[in-house]
Amino acid sequence: MHALATTDICDRIALYPPYFAFVDLQHQDARSVRGSFRAEHQTGHEVGPVSAAELIRHLATLGSCAAVIEDATTATYYLGTKGRLKVVRNALPDDADGDFHAVSEVLFQDRKSLVAHSTVMRGQYLAHFHCEYQALPSPVFARTFRHYRTAPVATPRESPYREPIDLDFDIPQEGTLVARSQPLPYSRFAGHFLEYPAWPASLYCETVSRVAARLLDHMLERKVQFTVARMDIDALRLISAAERVSFHVTCTSASKLLSRYVFRAEARHEELVAAVIEFEVYI
């Protein structure tokens, strides 16, 4: 293994700090890469050392890194289209703090698509992530999303990903809750496409987890915490950071006996569905 220059990798995948948050990258072989990161998202109601959404953020990024470690040509935007996260083992109470260590391997790659599998661990904690991507070379991406382009946005001094986005919540209705994002500055998703700021799919995941937590509190009439067992996302459209998004979360399965709850969520911009997310939690 040898160290990779993260600045070069960022240029190749068009993702930059603070969204890109690996402290180091190691070239393992022609189709895999290792990286370390430190959790920064708030975990909210989720039990464990890192939120499911943050894992999706970093592991999807690492998968795209694995695709370009031996490619120094035109920058390519890897847009995740399907992601499947499974938490195999949660942390023990006495697990030490510190960096998470992840490895991603390319399973399939051609000119227009990528499939990668990732594993992340720290202490006893272990999770897997399988991700499919659409690959768009920089000129194609620029042409396709030219209406998203903005003037360069200054990089914030602190990572905006440390704080959840502000939401307006509706009143829960029969196992369903809707929340809406408030207007956001372009810098809110800093690093997620420099001149084309857009909603990251991982932020959809973080937000629906928060909405589901509020819905669970309402359903059970008490404050609860839960462990995420799996989270599946189908990302259908890239939405500009300038647009407001609504989050529609429904509990599709509830078992008090097993303490198991399954949710289905949609992230929407007006009438367009940007992403569909299903996740399973245990109280």
The span from the CA of 181 to the CA of 277, in Å, is 17
Q: Could you tell me the CA-to-CA distances from 188 to 23, 91, 158, 203 in Å, in that order? A: 21, 30, 11, 11
Residue of 234, 217, 233 lying closest to 225 (CA atoms): 217
Residue 110 has which token pair? Answer: 């051609």
* Counted domains in the chain: 1
Q: Look at residue 126 in the predicted model and tell me its pLDDT.
A: 94
> Which of 141, 132, 143 lies closest to 110 in space, CA to CA?
132
Residue 180: the pLDDT is 98
Residue of 241, 262, 167, 228 lying closest to 43 (CA atoms): 228
Per the domain annotation, does 272 fall within a domain?
Answer: yes
Nearest Cα neighbor of 166 from 180, 156, 186 is 180
Residue 150 lies in a domain: no
Residue 213 lies in a domain: yes
Domain span holding position 101: 2-143+165-282
The answer to whether residue 83 sits within a structural domain is yes
CATH number at residue 78: 2.40.160.210
pLDDT tens across the length of the chain (283 residues): 789 899 999 999 999 999 999 999 999 888 999 999 999 999 999 999 999 999 999 999 999 999 998 776 789 999 999 999 999 988 776 666 889 999 999 999 999 999 999 999 998 899 999 999 999 999 999 999 999 999 888 888 899 999 999 999 999 998 999 999 999 999 999 999 989 999 999 999 999 999 999 999 999 999 999 999 999 999 999 999 999 999 999 999 999 999 999 999 999 999 999 999 999 999 9
In a domain, 155, yes or no: no
pLDDT at 101: 96
Q: Is residue 75 part of a domain?
A: yes
For the stretch 231-263, what's the b/e string if a residue is b when 16 or more beta carbons lie within 10 angstroms of its beta carbon?
bbbbbbebbbbebebbbbbbbeeeeeeeeebbb
pLDDT at 94: 65
What pLDDT does 91 receive?
79
In a domain, 149, yes or no: no
pTM: 0.96
**Per-residue pLDDT, 74:** 80
In a domain, 241, yes or no: yes
* Number of C-beta neighbours around residue 142 at 10 A: 15
